[in-house]
Structure 1
Amino acid sequence: MKTTVTIQNLKCSGCESTIAKKLHTLKGIKNIAVNTEDCTVSFNYETEDGIETVQKELTRLGYPIHGDKNNLTTKAKSYVSCAIGRINK
């Protein structure tokens, strides 16, 4: 099954790199595509739990789903994730 989610705090290729690398480590999640222009992440998942697993990981990284809570701490996490993505490119 395939889905696309709109996320918050996605700014650049550093963010994109971190998100793609982290989601590739999740079991049953494949064909990940991060689009910085429209702030979306598309992916295939094998079980219904896949969407929830991805949403939790995105929030943990600082990129909550559009409409979810996005406080200062979450925004700070996204900057750290972005920096890591730029370094590990």
Structure 2
Amino acid sequence: LDRRELVFARRAHDLKVYGESHINAAFTYTRPTGNRFNSGERGAWYAADDVVTATAEVGFHRTRELAFIGIFDDEAHYVELLADFI
């Protein structure tokens, strides 16, 4: 067995944790015009190395969406999801 398979087997139960649906939603709900890294045919999950970069990314996209509808009075709550890649 490859040692990566052993790690996966040991952590398989962790895959059913909070956040899984958030990541799936990124691919399920698409923007018809697409994003920077994908066409409108499929979604994309954005990730960052730190919370500062992630906040800037969220701020950029949210501001763009609000500018499109011309309303900037908005309140949103976000959570930080930590991912570990094998």
TM-score class normalised by the smaller sequence: 0.3 to 0.5
What TM-score, normalized by structure 1, do the two folds share? 0.33
Which is strand-richer, 1 or 2?
1
Bigger relative contact order, structure 1 or 2 (CA pairs below 8 A, ≥6 apart) = 1
How does the TM-score come out when normalised to structure 2? 0.33
Larger Rg: 2
